[in-house]
Amino acid sequence: MVNRYVDGEAAANMLERRWFAAFKAASGVRAECEGLLESIALTQAAWSHARARLSELEALRDALGEEFAALGEREGPIPAEDSNAVMSAA
């Protein structure tokens, strides 16, 4: 009868240890999930900002392209001697 009690106590101790180990592991993974969720939120905000900036730059590019095309239509073709000239950005 004494052996059965000792075996039951050992099993209870083992079960308790496993429960605490699982609790600790779950707490660690929960913290990791929270960190990843914060990282996702920051990444999504950065992505949204970059997409908005891309949209602005594409609209500017398109408007400048249209203006450039209209300018070319008004002035006619570039003379051959001027086509080899180097342009300065200044």
Domain-embedded: residue 79: no
Domain-embedded: residue 33: yes
Structure confidence at residue 76 (pLDDT) = 66
Domain-embedded: residue 81: no
Domain-embedded: residue 87: no
Q: Which residue has the higher pLDDT, 74 or 22?
A: 22
Domain-embedded: residue 59: yes
What value does the mean pLDDT take over residues 39-53? 98
The number of distinct structural domains making up the chain is: 1
Q: Which region among 1-5, 6-10, 18-22 has the lowest average model confidence (pLDDT)?
A: 1-5
What value does the mean pLDDT take over residues 29-46? 98
Structure confidence at residue 46 (pLDDT) = 98
Domain-embedded: residue 60: yes
What does the alpha-carbon distance between residue 27 and residue 30 come to, in Å, rounded to a whole number?
A: 5
Structure confidence at residue 74 (pLDDT) = 82
Domain-embedded: residue 34: yes
Q: Give buried/exposed letters for 33-59 (b at 16+ CB in 10 A, else e).
A: eeeeeeeeeeeeeeeeeeeeeeeeeee
What does the alpha-carbon distance between residue 58 and residue 66 come to, in Å, rounded to a whole number?
A: 12
The helix (run of H) or strand (run of E) holding residue 51 is: helix 2-75
What does the alpha-carbon distance between residue 90 and residue 87 come to, in Å, rounded to a whole number?
A: 9
Domain-embedded: residue 28: yes
Range of the domain at 60: 2-74
Structure confidence at residue 5 (pLDDT) = 64
What value does the mean pLDDT take over residues 1-25? 86
pTM of the model: 0.56
